[in-house]
A and B are shown apart, each in its own frame.
Chain A
Amino acid sequence: MVKEKTKEKFYFNIFRICMLFTIFILGFILLYVIINGYKVINFRFLTTMWNHQDITQGGIFPAIFGSILLGIGISIISIPIGICTAIYISEYAKENYFTNMVKISIRNLAGVPSVVYGLFGLAFFVFLLNLGTSLIAASLTLGCMTLPWIITSSEESIKSVPNSFREASIALGATKWQTIKKVVVPSSLGGMLTGSILGISRAVGETAPIIMVGATFYISYLPTSPTDKFMALPYHLFILATQHSSPDAKAYALGTALVLISLTFIMNLGIFIIRYKLRKKKEW
């Protein structure tokens, strides 16, 4: 028995070390980016236009601006479709062939590699719909990619609304749509929003598809229409890290990475606040 106990301790410590190593990797990545990137970040770096000749003289404002616009574009396309689909699947859909097809499609879309979405976006949005390499083509492509993530998390959030809520509403004489509009959606909105923001923050960090359908390393103006090309943070740091000859490129790539991670972090902070506020309200 004593021997078994020591054995147990030994193995548990191995598991603990593995877990710690996983956490260590995350911590290391974040620290590496912060320590090497913070030096280049200052007001000018964040707010001025990119200077192609001397990278130390310019800022990454157009890339930040482009990534934010892209995030908004993706939201406009994927959130309404995603939430409607989630409501349909969890509230209306009956167990039949069509519903199964929708569910299978969602799960398989989530597994399609991002570079394949890029090919699809290039063939369909850029060439067939003739949108060109543009902000709108990139938003549509990444919107398709984000859709399954948003649907899955919204579905879960809708499912967590207790059935007694629906029954009470129906018993009061409300129709199904009234129940959804006034009971189900308000009670699950927080979960749906947090899931959506999480998906969009991941999509904004995605690089492979936007290389194909719209991002460019250098433009001298800010995009003003959906058909303009745009600069984006992940593509910017990719070029700085791999194809730029300036000796300062490394520091600037890591600085850009820090800005990108911070942007994601700010979005996640928003999620945290929404969750916290809603948890207080929830009483089931």
Chain B
Amino acid sequence: MMFLVKGLKINKEKIIINIFLIVSVTTILILLGIFLFLFFTGIKTFNEISFKEIFFGTDWNPTAYGEPSWGILSLLVGTLIVTLGALIFAIPLGIASSIYLAEIASPKTREFLKPTIEMIAGIPSVVLGLIGIFFLSPLIAGLFGLSNGLNGLIASFIVGIMILPTIISVSEDVLISLPKEFNEASLALGATKWQTIKMTLIPAALSGIGGAIMLGLGRAVGETMAVLMVAGNSRGMPTSILDPVRPITANIAIEIKEVVSGSLHYEALFLLGLILFVITFCVNVISEIIINKQTKKYKW
């Protein structure tokens, strides 16, 4: 009898393990599914349009009567402008904030500040878009004497705000995880706290902070809603940061509602999605490698 009960138990255990295992496969399937759908739908675009026309054409106008054009260069430049602009704004502010948080703030202040920064990540991107449209855009238009204040500059600023929490919390983690001995040794040698931060901690954490920036970059490339609302969405090739731009994400969101499933335009939008997926995938893998190396470097 005892034997039987034990046998049943082990059986049950095995079944449960297998259920958990099967459920865990879901994540792999989703990632694979996303890639395969994008790849096999997007790749069909090349049946009708040449590689050269897509990647070297500057004119994106798939719905034009007569001769539609499929150049994605101006969209790519739009993404580039918004992403770089966002980084220029978010890197100094984010790193300075993370240094304050990790090294200067008292534990009590930190306990208050950390959830506050998490709250920024919790603001839906449409709400940030609203602020861009109703507050920043008239401000910028007045400041630079533009007729329309929706442009790459505002989009950069708004996306910068969105990636701030990522940069701050990852860099702060990196700084906190440095061995205490670094700090103590430097202070014991008579260095001030600032000298310690500047000459010991920042150099030691540099690659990890780089990883944090890469993670922020990945998020900036993929941001859709706020960009859709404030970037101006003009399809023309932007010549300055004050021009309206249409990044890849915004373009997909604008046009996907109006295309017929299976049409060439539909396939081309999936190709844009594939490009986006590949960019963010690479950026994320690189940042992960950097951050992993950083955390392993000082473990003993």
- Does B92 count as interface, using CB distance less than 8 angstroms? yes
Interface residues of A in 15-36 (CB under 8 A from B): 15-16, 18-19, 21-23, 25-26, 29, 32-33, 36
**Pick the contact of B273 from A116, A177, A242 — CB < 8 Å?**
A116
- Does A144 count as interface, using CB distance less than 8 angstroms? yes
Give the chain A neighbours of B96 by CB distance below 8 A.
Answer: 14-15, 18-19
Do A19 and B101 touch (CB < 8 A)? yes
A143 to B157, CA, bound (A): 29
Give the chain B neighbours of A171 by CB distance below 8 A.
Answer: none
Do B33 and A85 touch (CB < 8 A)? no
Give the chain A neighbours of B219 by CB distance below 8 A.
Answer: 111
**Interface SS, B side:** helix
**Pick the contact of B97 from A11, A15, A81, A198 — CB < 8 Å?**
A15
Give the chain B neighbours of A253 by CB distance below 8 A.
Answer: 130, 134
Do A32 and B135 touch (CB < 8 A)? yes
Do B24 and A89 touch (CB < 8 A)? yes
- Does B50 count as interface, using CB distance less than 8 angstroms? no
Give the chain A neighbours of B222 by CB distance below 8 A.
Answer: 111-116
Give the chain B neighbours of A47 by CB distance below 8 A.
Answer: none
Give the chain B neighbours of A222 by CB distance below 8 A.
Answer: none
- Does B124 count as interface, using CB distance less than 8 angstroms? yes
Do A22 and B229 touch (CB < 8 A)? no
Do A123 and B117 touch (CB < 8 A)? no
Give the chain B neighbours of A107 by CB distance below 8 A.
Answer: 284, 288
Do A120 and B131 touch (CB < 8 A)? no
- Does A183 count as interface, using CB distance less than 8 angstroms? no
- Does A208 count as interface, using CB distance less than 8 angstroms? yes
- Does A207 count as interface, using CB distance less than 8 angstroms? yes
**Pick the contact of B253 from A7, A101, A211 — CB < 8 Å?**
A211
Give the chain A neighbours of B129 by CB distance below 8 A.
Answer: 238, 241
Do B27 and A148 touch (CB < 8 A)? yes
Do A175 and B9 touch (CB < 8 A)? yes
- Does B17 count as interface, using CB distance less than 8 angstroms? yes
Give the chain A neighbours of B195 by CB distance below 8 A.
Answer: 4, 8
- Does A108 count as interface, using CB distance less than 8 angstroms? yes
Give the chain B neighbours of A101 by CB distance below 8 A.
Answer: 28
Contact (A88, B23) CB under 8 Å given A19-B113, A22-B164, A115-B249: yes
Do B38 and A116 touch (CB < 8 A)? yes
A238 to B128, CA, bound (A): 11
A207 to B128, CA, bound (A): 12
Q: For residue A159, give the distance in angstroms from its CB to the closest CB of chain B.
A: 15
Q: Across the two chains, which residue of chain A brings its CB closest to B15?
A: A177
Do B125 and A207 touch (CB < 8 A)? yes
Interface residues of A in 129-151 (CB under 8 A from B): 144, 147-148, 151
- Does A176 count as interface, using CB distance less than 8 angstroms? yes
Give the chain B neighbours of A105 by CB distance below 8 A.
Answer: 27-28, 30-31
Give the chain A neighbours of B139 by CB distance below 8 A.
Answer: none
Do A212 and B257 touch (CB < 8 A)? yes
For A18, A206, A234, A254, which residue has the most chain B Cβ atoms within 10 angstroms? A18
What total of A-B pairs shows CB separation below 8 Å?
A: 242
Interface residues of B in 88-142 (CB under 8 A from A): 92-93, 96-97, 99-101, 104-105, 113, 116-117, 119-131, 133-135
Q: Mark A195-210, 1 if CB is under 8 A from B, else 0.
A: 0001001100111100
Give the chain A neighbours of B126 by CB distance below 8 A.
Answer: 205, 207, 234, 237-238, 241, 257, 260
- Does B256 count as interface, using CB distance less than 8 angstroms? yes
Do A123 and B270 touch (CB < 8 A)? yes
Do B131 and A102 touch (CB < 8 A)? no
- Does A278 count as interface, using CB distance less than 8 angstroms? no
Do B31 and A116 touch (CB < 8 A)? no
A25 to B160, CA, bound (A): 11
- Does B159 count as interface, using CB distance less than 8 angstroms? no
Do A120 and B225 touch (CB < 8 A)? no
Do A113 and B100 touch (CB < 8 A)? no
- Does B12 count as interface, using CB distance less than 8 angstroms? yes
Q: Mark B12-35, 1 if CB is under 8 A from A, else 0.
A: 110011011101111110110110
Residues of A within 8 A of B (CB): 4-5, 7-8, 11-12, 14-16, 18-19, 21-23, 25-26, 29, 32-33, 36, 80-81, 84-85, 87-89, 92-93, 101-102, 105-109, 111-120, 122-124, 127, 144, 147-148, 151, 175-177, 198, 201-202, 205-208, 211-212, 234, 237-238, 241-242, 250, 253-254, 257, 260-261, 264, 268
The 5 closest A-B pairs by CB, nearest first: A113-B222, A205-B124, A18-B96, A8-B194, A111-B284
Between A and B, 20 residue pairs with Cβ closer than 8 Å are A12-B104, A15-B99, A18-B97, A18-B100, A84-B20, A88-B20, A93-B24, A106-B27, A111-B280, A111-B284, A113-B221, A116-B277, A118-B256, A124-B37, A205-B125, A205-B127, A208-B249, A234-B225, A253-B130, A254-B130
